[in-house]
Structure 1
Amino acid sequence: MIFFLYIVLVFLVLRFSVTLFNFVSNPKMGNYGRSFTDKVMIIIKVRQSEQEAEKLIASIKSQDYKNYEILIQSSDGPDVAENAKGAYFLFLEANTLIEKGFINSLIYRTSVFKLALLNIIPTPRTSGFIANCIYPLSDFVLLNLFPIRLVRLINHPAFAMANGACLFFDADIYRRYEWNHTFIDPGLAALEMLKSVKQEKLNADLLLGNKLIYQEEKELDIALLSRRLMLNFSNQPIIALGYLALVIAGPIVMAINLAPVFLLLPYGLIFLSRMMIAYLSVQPPFPNILYHPLQMISLTYLLLHSCWNRCITVLKSKK
């Protein structure tokens, strides 16, 4: 038991260190105040109909950027960007909204760092009890486990993490490597695509959306949310279950076995981590702290749901 508690504490310190690194390095998208005129092809991913993208299209039209063309593409349809003209390709999910300055800032960041791919994680817009228990989990797990700045600083596939909601490509590079044939849906294959970019020794970057791009979840899709969370664990159930044992069961075992005075350090690290993550993800800090126990229950359910489904799939494939 003592050995397990030591492991929990060490893992907690490591997670806090990663969160602190993210907090200090502040990997958020900035509004750089520059203007460009290059043509941008905006490919919007919809699941069923174009009506899903009405709010997004309205936010695009209110942009200060005018040289763009919008293409609507079904999530399970072929890539319509193959013959599209333009200097850049911007893939967006239909439930995202962008603010003024966003496209100019994408081009500026891409040109300054000579990026083949710039991946932006939208800021979640949550409203309601259930939403606040579930949607902040993606940022919590990511910012607790992965130092985001290393995506750009270390050009190796091992340092890759991605989000499929917003992908911005240099169009010439996208066509040259024929990624439209390799990855039918860049949104669903975002992590594999970013790894491919690094394998080709090209530059990529991952940033938090800050106040420039938001994502609204209209429907509670447990399967989709579970798959997104599993990406943080390389889709490996064993890693996800180990994470749950250390992050969920660990603090509970500590509370049962340790005197209150010894709980100040671990619980203090959890509190500070939640404060820093709330700042990075542009979320109100104290409500997120109050929701923390319920979010951990939701995290347990989502990861167990995904692990169970994956095990069932493996067993069926062996029959």
Structure 2
Amino acid sequence: MLVFYVVFFFLILRFTISLFNFISNPKLPVSPRRYTDLVSILIPARNEAGRIEHLLQSILGQSYQHYEVLVLDDQSTDDTYQICESFSRLDSRIRVIRGNALPDGWLGKNFACHQLGQVAKGRYFMFIDADTRVGEGLIDNAVHRTKRGRLALLSLFANQVMETIGERIVVPLMHFILLNLLPLRLVRISKNASFAAASGQFMMFDGPMYQIYHWHAQVRDKVLDDMEIAKLVKTYRLPTETLLANGFLFCRMYSGYDEAVNGFSKNILAGFNRNIAGLICYLLLVMIGPLFIAYYLSLSLFMFAVTLILLSRIMISLMSGQHVLWNVLLHPVQMVSLSLIAIVSIIRHFTRQSMWKGRSI
């Protein structure tokens, strides 16, 4: 009976958090006015030749005009630098910087962002990943939200673009875990650093404040630099907010199942603060819990549990702009994939064999 109570409590808690997120609607709102502040759009890029062109084109298509674009080529071995250089010849607001060699004690992306922050001149620093695309209105909306809340950090979880079944099996897990475990509005409301979340796909900082705190330097060796920075900002008692991009930012993170599993496995254990026991307990409650109810208890209780899970998936899919039916149908396969990702992440943690873009992390 103790196991039953634990399983049901966790199931109802997750549903309640999903419902809270759905009702509170934590999405980036539309700005009621236009701004002219200089925004530094900062893009760390390593071997992004197949993606960064789409991002730069989407930036140039923005109605917001007062910005500078700084691309740091992080020792790419493909045509990333040449592609960005061709854009810089078309528009003087775009500049390409060759990154320095990676020093000891740093992870690649963190060092690239730190270098960008040292040369940026804007009132706001907008760090975005090279595999994203900017929707019309993003910059105005983000500036308005940052000004209105006097935020040190605004982070957005992008709408995820998925083109293969393999991506649909893995990529939705990010929003599922986030919106099933964290009441997103509490990132802004609560001063507790435990209520922290951020996505490195979009992080807008108050520029002068960034140059005081050097956020990326403070998390130089952290895999989840975005989460660690969010915790730091809250630790310093500075206001931060994390929202869903609401169709103003798109990202295709991975191009297939294997790449998605590899990408998520480098992050998931860090997302649980490298607590292997905590990750295993979460998996057992999410996966084995409903099966335990089905085997030991009544069919009606099992159907109640299934109903809560389905309603959670529907609400999370609608919030994140994902296909509801795909997520409902693929839920069992997604949970199996989540276990696989966790196993790979734990193995890599003990063997210290985690690699990303040719570098050990």
TM over 0.5: yes
Q: Look up the SS of the partner of 1:24 in the other structure.
A: helix
AA in 1 matched with 2:18: T
Contact 1:161/1:232, CA 8 A, preserved across alignment? no
- State the alpha-carbon separation in 2 of the partners of residues 37 and 186 from structure 1: 34
1:186 to 1:172, Cα distance in 2 relative to 1, 3 A = farther
Q: Which residue of 2 aligns with 1:54?
A: 53
After superposing the two structures, state which structure 1 stretch, 117-126 or 174-183, moved more. 174-183
1:267 maps to 306
| Pairing of 1:157-168 with structure 2 (within 5 A) | 157-168=193-204
User: Alpha-carbon deviations, 1:10-35, whole Å to 9, x = none?
Assistant: 11001111111111111011222420
Change (3 A) 1:187 1:110: farther
Q: Within 1, Cα distance between the matches of 2:172 and 2:201?
A: 15
Alignment of 1:235-250 (within 5 A): 235-250=274-289
Give the alignment's TM-score, normalised by structure 2.
Answer: 0.82
Cα pair distance change 1:7/1:187, threshold 3 Å: closer
- Asked if 2 retains the 8 angstrom alpha-carbon contact of 1:79 and 1:184, the reply is no
Q: Provide the C-alpha distance between the structure 2 equivalents of 1:183 and 1:241, rounded to a whole number of angstroms.
A: 26
The 1:153–1:305 alpha-carbon spacing in structure 2 relative to 1, beyond 3 Å, is same
Residues 158-179 of structure 1 show CA distances to partners (whole Å, capped at 9, x for unaligned) of 2112211110011011112233
One-letter amino acid of the structure 1 residue matched with residue 171 of structure 2 = Y
User: How much has 1:260 moved relative to structure 2?
Assistant: 1.9
Which residue of structure 1 lines up, in the alignment, with residue 261 of structure 2?
Answer: 222
Match of 1:208 in 2: 244
CA drift of 1:235 comes to 2.6
CA distance in structure 2 between the aligned counterparts of 1:148 and 1:43, rounded to whole angstroms: 25
Q: Within 5 Å, give how 1:45-124 maps onto structure 2.
A: 45-49=44-48, 52-73=51-72, 74=74, 75=109, 77=112, 79-124=115-160
Partner in structure 1 of residue 175 of structure 2: 139
Measured after TM superposition, the shift of residue 51 of structure 1 is 5.2
What aligned pairs does 1:171-186 form with structure 2 within 5 A after superposition? 171-184=207-220
Query: Which is worse superposed, 218-227 or 11-20?
Result: 218-227
Aligned length: 313
- The Cα shift of 1:96 comes to 0.7
Checking the alignment, whether the CA contact within 8 Å between 2:153 and 2:205 is kept in structure 1 is yes
CA RMSD of aligned residues (A): 1.9
**What letter is aligned with 1:69?**
E
In 2, Cα distance between equivalents of 1:186 and 1:171: 22
Q: What is the identity percentage for the equivalent residue pairs of Structure 1 and Structure 2?
A: 34
Q: CA deviation at 1:292?
A: 0.5
**Aligned-pair CA distance for 1:287:** 1.8
CA–CA separation in structure 1 for the residues paired with 2:156 and 2:294: 38
Stretches of structure 2 that go unaligned for 5 or more consecutive residues are 75-108, 354-361
Distance 1:277 1:231, change over 3 A: farther
Alpha-carbon distance in structure 1 between the residues aligned to 2:211 and 2:2: 53
**Could you say what secondary structure the match of 1:107 adopts?**
helix
Q: Partner of 1:301 in structure 2?
A: 340
Q: Hey, what's the Cα distance between the residues in 2 that align with 1:300 and 1:186?
A: 23
Q: Which amino acid aligns with 2:191?
A: N
The answer for unaligned runs of 5 or more in structure 1 is: 315-319
Q: Deviations over 1:54-106 (max 9, x none)?
A: 11111111111101111112335452221321101000011111101000000
C-alpha distance in structure 2 between counterparts of 1:28 and 1:139, whole Å: 13
Question: Is residue 118–residue 167 contact of structure 1 (8 Å, CA) maintained in 2?
Answer: yes
> Aligned equivalents of 2:320 and 2:223: distance in 1?
21
Q: Equivalents in 2 of 1:95, 1:14: separation in Å?
A: 34
- Residue 149 of structure 1 corresponds to 185
Range that drifts further, 183-192 or 153-162:
183-192
Contact kept in structure 1, 2:223 and 2:270, CA below 8 Å: no
Report the counterpart of residue 317 of structure 1 in structure 2. none
